A and B are shown apart, each in its own frame.
Chain A
Amino acid sequence: MALLQISEPGMSAAPHQHKLAVGIDLGTTNSLVATVRSGMSTVLQDEHGRSLLPSVVRYINDNEVIVGHQAQAKQSEDPINTIVSVKRFMGRGIKDIADKAHIPYRFVSNNASESPSQGMLQLDTRAGLKSPVEISAEILKALKVRAEKALGGELTGAVITVPAYFDDAQRQATKDAARLAGLHVLRLLNEPTAAAVAYGLDNAAEGVYVIYDLGGGTFDVSILRLSKGVFEVLATNGDSALGGDDFDHRIYCWILDQTREQTPNKQPLNEEDTRLLLTKARQAKEWLTDNDEAQITCKLSDGYAIDVVLSADTLVELTQNLVNKTLSPMRKAMRDAGLELSEIKGVVMVGGATRMPHVRHAVQDFFEQEPLTNLDPDKVVALGAAIQANVLAGNRSDDDLLLLDVTPLSLGLETMGGLVEKIIPRNSTLPVARAQDFTTFKDGQTAMSIHVLQGERDLVSACRSLARFELRGIPPMAAGAARIRVTFQVDADGLLSVSAREETKGIEASITVKPSYGLSEDQITAMLKSSFGAAEADKQARALAEAKVDAMSLISAINIALEQDGHLLSESEKDEINASVKSLEQTLNTEDSHAVHAATEALNETTENFAAKRMDASVSRALAGKKIDEVDLK
Chain B
Amino acid sequence: MAISLTSAAAQRVEKFLANRGKGIGLRLGVKTTGCSGMAYTLEFVDELHDEDMTFESHGVKVIVDPKSLVYIDGTELDFTKEGLNEGFKFNNPNVADECGCGESFTV
Q: Taking beta carbons and an 8 Å cutoff, which residues of A are in contact with B?
A: 1-12, 14-16, 37-40, 44-47, 146, 149-152
Residues of B within 8 A of A6 (CB): 13, 16, 26, 42-44, 88
The main secondary structure of chain A at its interface with chain B is loop
Q: Decide if A4 touches B87 in the complex (CB within 8 Å).
A: yes
| Residues in A neighbouring B61, C-beta threshold 8 A | none
- How far, in angstroms, from A1 to B98 measured CA to CA in the complex? 9
Q: In whole Å, how far is B106's beta carbon from the nearest beta carbon of chain A?
A: 13
| From A3, A11, A15, A40, contact of B85 by CB (8 A) | A3
Question: Which residues of B come within 8 Å of A, CB atoms?
Answer: 12-13, 15-16, 19-20, 26-27, 29, 31, 33-35, 39-47, 80, 82-90, 98-99, 101-104
Minimum C-beta distance from A145 to chain B (A): 10
Residue of A nearest to B38 (CB): A15
A8/B84 in contact, CB under 8 A = no
- B31 touching A12 by the CB < 8 A rule? yes
Q: Are A44 and B43 in contact, CB atoms less than 8 angstroms apart?
A: no
Q: Of the candidates B19, B35, B40, B84, which one forms a contact with A4 in the assembled complex, judged by CB atoms under 8 Å apart?
A: B40
A15 touches B12 (CB 8 A): no
- The answer to whether A3 and B43 touch across the interface, beta carbons within 8 angstroms, is no
* Residues of B with C-beta under 8 A to A152: 82, 85
The interface residues of chain B, by DSSP majority, are classed as strand
Contacts of B101 in A (CB 8 A): 1-2, 15-16
For the complex, give the distance between the alpha carbons of A89 and B103 in Å. 45
Shortest C-beta distance, A496 to chain B (Å), equals 38
Q: Is the pair A12, B84 in contact by a Cβ cutoff of 8 Å?
A: no
Given the known A-B contacts A3-B88, A39-B44, A149-B84, are A15 and B99 also in contact in the complex, defined by CB atoms under 8 Å?
Answer: yes
Verify A15–B33 contact, CB threshold 8 A. Answer: yes
Give Cα distance in the complex from A146 to B34, angstroms.
27
In whole Å, how far is B93's beta carbon from the nearest beta carbon of chain A? 14
Instruction: With both chains docked as a complex, state the minimum distance between the C-beta of A191 and any C-beta of chain B, in angstroms.
Output: 23
Query: Which residues of chain B come closer than 8 Å to A16, judged between CB atoms?
Result: 34-35, 101, 103
Whether the Cβ atoms of B102 and A2 lie closer than 8 Å is yes
Q: CA separation between A38 and B77, bound complex, in Å? A: 15
Whether A40 touches B89, Cβ cut-off 8 Å, given contacts A4-B42, A7-B44, A150-B84, is: no
Distance of A149 Cα from B84 Cα, bound (Å): 6
Whether B46 pairs with A3 at a CB distance below 8 angstroms is: no
Is A9 a contact of B45 with CB atoms below 8 Å?
Answer: yes
Given A2-B101, A9-B27, A12-B42, also A149-B83 (CB < 8 A): yes
Min Cβ gap B84→A in Å is 4
Residues of B within 8 A of A11 (CB): 43
Is the CB–CB distance between B84 and A146 below 8 Å?
Answer: yes
Q: Given that A2-B102, A40-B19 are known contacts, is A149 also in contact with B87, CB under 8 Å in the complex?
A: no
B31 vs chain A, min Cβ distance (A): 7
B89 x A3 contact (CB < 8 A): yes
Does the CB pair A1–B89 fall under 8 Å?
Answer: yes
Query: Given that A4-B88, A39-B44 are contacting pairs, would A14 and B39 also be in contact in the complex, using a CB cutoff of 8 Å?
Result: yes
- Within 8 Å CB of A15, what residues of B? 33-35, 39, 99, 101, 103-104
B44 contacts A9, CB within 8 Å?
yes
Which residues on B sit within 8 Å (CB–CB) of A47? Answer: 84
Beyond A38-B12, A39-B19, 6 additional contacts (C-beta under 8 Å) are A3-B86, A6-B26, A14-B34, A16-B34, A37-B86, A151-B85
From the candidates A9, A37, A150, name the one contacting B43 in the complex (CB within 8 A): A9
CA distance A7 to B31 in the complex (A): 14
Sampled A-B contacts (19; CB under 8 Å) = A2-B87, A2-B101, A3-B85, A3-B86, A4-B90, A7-B43, A8-B43, A9-B47, A12-B31, A12-B41, A12-B42, A15-B99, A16-B103, A38-B16, A40-B15, A45-B84, A146-B84, A149-B84, A150-B85
Q: Whole-angstrom distance between the alpha carbons of A38 and B44 in the complex?
A: 9
**Cα separation A14 to B84 with both chains bound (whole Å):** 23
Q: Point out which of B27, B83, B98, B103 has the most chain A C-beta atoms below 10 A from its C-beta.
A: B103
- Which of A1, A7, A146 interacts with B42 by CB under 8 Å? A7
Tell me which residues across on chain B come within 8 A of A4, comparing CB atoms: 40, 42, 87-90, 103
Q: Which residues of chain A are near B31, meaning CB under 8 Å?
A: 12, 14
- Most B CB within 10 A of own CB, among A1, A37, A46: A1
